[in-house]
Structure 1
Amino acid sequence: MEVTDEERRHLLVRRHAVGAGMALTPAEVTTRLVALHATDPATVSLQVLARSTTATLDAMRDAMYTDHSLVRVMAMRRTLFVIDRTFMPIVQAGASAGVARTLRTRLVKQLSTMPTDPVIDDVPTWLDRVERDVDAALAAAGTATGAELSTAVPQLRTAFLPTTDKAYDVRRYVTSQVLTLLSAEGRIVRVEPRGSWTSRHHTWAPVGYWWPDGVPDMDEAEARVELARAWLESFGPATMDDLQWWTGWNKGHTTKAVAALDTVEVELSSGPGIMLRDSDIDGIHGGVALLPALDATPMGWKDRRWFLPDEYRPDLFDTFGNVGPTVWSNGRVVGGWAVCGAGEVVFRLFEKADEEQVAAEAARLETHLDGASITPTFPTPLEKALRTGSGN
C-alpha cells in the first residue's frame, strides 16, 4: 500500500489540528500530539493556541497548575514534555525510567571521578542522603525553586571543580543534575514558574501533587508498546527510524514494541513505513497555522522532507537540529515567523501562500500575546533576523 506525501500532509492537518480551525481544550490538543514539547516554556502554550480557536493562556495555566490535568515531565530523548496526566504511567515506564538510569549512572560517575568541593568520600551514601533531604524539604515547603532547595539542602551546593583552563570549564553546582534526576525518576515535578507564562524560573513540587501514592507502576516493555501505539496513532504512517528517533529508544526496544502491535507495511516517499492496521487515514485540507519553535509536529519525525523542503532547513533550524517558528499552509511549511518588539508577530513566506490568512493568524496570535516578548531558547537564522528587524 502506498501513502503519498499529500495524503500524509492532509492527515497531519486533521490529526494535529494544523490550520484546521478546531475548538479544542489544552488537554485535547495535548492528546492529539501525544506530548507537547516543553524545553522552551512559551512553546507549551503557543502549541495549544496555534491549534485551538477557543483556548486561552488562562486555560493553559488552569490545566497545568490548578486542575493538574497536564504535567511537565522529563521523557523521550531526555527532553522536557507536557503530557496528559492519565498518560504519565506509560511515559514514566516507557521513556523516563530509561532516561533516569542514564542520568544516575552519569552523575555517580562524575561524582566519583571529578574533583568536587567539598570532597565526597562515599558517593552512593551521599547521593541517597541528598535525595531524601530534597524529598523532605519539598514536602515541608510545598513548592520551591532550585535556589530555595539548595538553601534548605546545602549539599546541593556541592560543586564540580574545573579540570582545564578552558573558558567553558567552570565551577558548577550539582543542583540542576540532582533535581533533573529526581524528576526523571518520577519523584518531583516541575510546576508553575515564578513570573509570567514565558518564564524559565520554574518551581518544583512533590509528585504527590498529582499522585498521592506515587506514579502508578507499569512494566517497561508493556509501556513501550503503548507509547509506540500512541505515537503511531498520531504520527503514522511513518518509518521505524522516525519512531526510534522520537522515543530515543535503541533499535531492539523499537523493534519489539512495534512487533507487539497490529501494523501493516506501507510505502512512503522516504521508504518502507508502518501504520496501525485499523488506522483511519482520511485527511482534510487545512488553512494557515503559525507553529512555535520546537513545536511537537515538526519535531515529531526524523525525516521531514514530505512537509518541509530541504532548502528551507538552513533558515528554520539551528545547528543542533532544533526547529524555529514555522508558517504552515495545508500541512506544509511555507515560511517562518517571529515576535519582535512588544508582541508584534512578523513573518516571511518562502513560497506563494494566502498572505491575508497568514496575516490574520498573526493578528490572532498577537491578541493572545498581549504585548509579551517571545525569544526562543534556540534561535534560528530566520527567527533571529525577523526579531531583530533584518529579515522583514
Structure 2
Amino acid sequence: MTGGPRGDDGGVLGRRALGRALLARQHLLERSAATPADMIEHLGGLQAQAAPQPPYLGLLARLDGFTPEALTGLIETRRAVRIALQRGTIHLVTAEDCLTLRPLLQPLLEQQLRTTYGKRLAGLDLDALAVEARALVEAEPRTFLRLGTELAATRPDRDPAALAQAARCLLPLVQVPPRGLWGRGGPAAHTTAEAWLGRPLDPVPAPDALALRYLAAFGPATVADLQKWCGLSRLAPVLKRLAPGLVTFRDEQGRLLYDLPEAPRPGPDAPAPVRLVAPFDNLLLSHADRTRVLPEAYRPRVMTQNGIVLGTLLVDGLVAGSWQLSEEGTGARSVTVRPFTPLGRADRDAALAEAERVLAFAGGDGPVRFEEAG
C-alpha cells in the first residue's frame, strides 16, 4: 500500500517508517513470486563481490520457491552477468542492465583508476592499452594475473597488476562462468560485455532512469543516498529535474527525501518478519544514512575494517545479529546465527526457521547453531 503525507504537505518520515518502506521495496516484508531475472532487475543488481553465495542468498531471502539452478541457468545462458558497477564493486545484473548501467558508471571506474593507480600509470597510453587488452580478452577470457602479465610483456617497466586494473576500469569486463556458479566456482576470468552478450553498450544511457529505478527499490531517499548507492557524484540536478513527477518528504533531521508517488510506504507499524539477509547485501550499502535498518551501534559488527559485510539477522525490521552459511571440515554445510541481544521465543523460532530454510536451499545436512547473544 501507499501512504503517508505528500511532500507538498511538509510530511516527515521517521526512521522506522523509512525502514519499513525500504523493506517493502526490497521484498523483505513479504516474499515475491517474481522470477529471479525480474527481481535482479528490480533491485538494480545484487552485490556479488564474494563468489558465489551473496546473490543466491539475496534472492532466497526475497523469492518464494527459489532454487540455485534458477540463477545458475541465467548466468550460464548469459541472461545475467557479473561486472564492476555500483561503487566500483562486482554486481550480478541482467544482460540488459549490464549494457545500460556500465556506460553510466564508467566515470566512476575511471576516477577510481586515477585515485588508486594514477602514479603507476602516469605517462601510459591508456587508449592503446585498452585496445590491446580488448583484443586479448575477446580472443580468450583471461584472469587478471594472466592479462597483466601479457600487457606487461610490451611494457616491461610497468606493474602488471596496475595494467590489469586499468583494463578492468577502461573496459566493460564481465566474469565468465563457472565463476559465481553455486557449488562450482572457478577463477575470475574476463571478457568484454560486448563479446559475451553479442550486443553493444547503450550509447545514450539516461541518469534519470537510474535515479527512478533507485527510488523504486531503495526510496524514499536523499541525493546523498542515491550517490552512495551508485558511487557517482553531482546527481542533485537529476533529482531536481525529476522532482515535478515525484513526491518529497523530510526525515527527522530535516533532509529532503525524494520518492515515487505510488511506491509502497506501509507505515512504521507494518509487521516486519524475521529475515536472514545475505552477506554484502545492498540493503545495507545503498544509503548515506543506513540507520533506517542498521543501528549505528551494530555497524562495526557487520561491516569489518577489511571490507567484509556479514550476513545479517533482521528482527522487527532492524539488524539484530549476524549469520553465516559455512562448510564443516566433513563437507557438511551448517548455519550459525549470532544475535547481538537475546531473542524472544517467537523471534528465535522464526530465526531458526529462516536458518533451516537456508540450509535446505544449500543442500546442507549440518546443524543450525545459535551462539549466545552479546
TM-score range, shorter chain: 0.7 to 0.9
Aligned with residue 291 of structure 2, among 300, 305, 308: 305
Q: Which moved more, 1:328-337 or 1:149-158?
A: 149-158
Q: Describe how 1:1-392 pairs up with structure 2 within 5 A.
A: 1-41=11-51, 42-66=53-77, 68-100=78-110, 102-103=112-113, 107=117, 109-112=119-122, 123-124=124-125, 127-141=126-140, 143-149=141-147, 155=153, 158=156, 160=158, 173-182=161-170, 185-186=171-172, 188-193=173-178, 197=182, 199=185, 201-218=187-204, 223-250=206-233, 253-262=234-243, 263-283=246-266, 285-319=271-305, 322-340=308-326, 341=328, 342-349=332-339, 350-353=341-344, 354-371=347-364
| Structure 1 position 190, deviation (Å) | 1.6
- 8 Å CA contact 2:24, 2:264 repeated in 1: no
RMSD (Å) for aligned C-alpha atoms:
3.2
Change beyond 3 A, Cα 1:13–1:181: closer
- 8 Å CA contact 2:225, 2:287 repeated in 1: yes
- Say how many residue pairs are matched: 348
Secondary structure of the residue aligned to 1:173 is: helix
**Aligned partner of 1:344: which letter?**
S
Secondary structure of the residue aligned to 2:292 is: coil
- For residues 52 and 277 of structure 1, the distance between their equivalents in structure 2, rounded to whole angstroms, comes to 23
- 8 Å CA contact 1:336, 1:347 repeated in 2: yes
- For residues 201 and 151 of structure 2, the distance between their equivalents in structure 1, rounded to whole angstroms, comes to 24
**Aligned partner of 1:355: which letter?**
R
- 8 Å CA contact 2:145, 2:161 repeated in 1: no
Q: TM-score, normalised by structure 2?
A: 0.81
- 8 Å CA contact 2:103, 2:201 repeated in 1: no
| Structure 1 position 359, deviation (Å) | 0.7
- For residues 339 and 159 of structure 1, the distance between their equivalents in structure 2, rounded to whole angstroms, comes to 44
- For residues 154 and 272 of structure 1, the distance between their equivalents in structure 2, rounded to whole angstroms, comes to 49
- For residues 213 and 35 of structure 1, the distance between their equivalents in structure 2, rounded to whole angstroms, comes to 19
| Structure 1 position 345, deviation (Å) | 0.4
- For residues 43 and 189 of structure 1, the distance between their equivalents in structure 2, rounded to whole angstroms, comes to 17
Question: Any stretches of 5+ residues in structure 2 without a counterpart?
Answer: 1-10
State the Cα deviation string for residues 325-372 of structure 1 (Å, max 9, x = none).
101134222221123423210112225351111111111111222349
- 8 Å CA contact 1:316, 1:326 repeated in 2: yes
- 8 Å CA contact 1:157, 1:175 repeated in 2: no
Secondary structure of the residue aligned to 1:265 is: strand
- For residues 75 and 372 of structure 1, the distance between their equivalents in structure 2, rounded to whole angstroms, comes to 36
- 8 Å CA contact 1:25, 1:54 repeated in 2: no
Q: Which moved more, 1:11-20 or 1:52-61?
A: 11-20
Q: Which residue of 2 aligns with 1:119?
A: none
- For residues 194 and 88 of structure 1, the distance between their equivalents in structure 2, rounded to whole angstroms, comes to 17
- 8 Å CA contact 1:37, 1:43 repeated in 2: yes
Secondary structure of the residue aligned to 2:291 is: coil
**Aligned partner of 1:30: which letter?**
I
| Structure 1 position 215, deviation (Å) | 0.6
- For residues 264 and 14 of structure 1, the distance between their equivalents in structure 2, rounded to whole angstroms, comes to 18
Change beyond 3 A, Cα 1:271–1:59: same
Identity of aligned residues (%): 24
Q: TM-score, normalised by structure 1?
A: 0.77
- 8 Å CA contact 1:290, 1:328 repeated in 2: yes
Q: Which residue of 2 aligns with 1:115?
A: none
Change beyond 3 A, Cα 1:176–1:45: farther
Q: Which residue of 2 aligns with 1:377?
A: none
- 8 Å CA contact 1:189, 1:205 repeated in 2: yes
- 8 Å CA contact 1:326, 1:335 repeated in 2: yes
- 8 Å CA contact 2:103, 2:202 repeated in 1: no
| Structure 1 position 79, deviation (Å) | 1.7
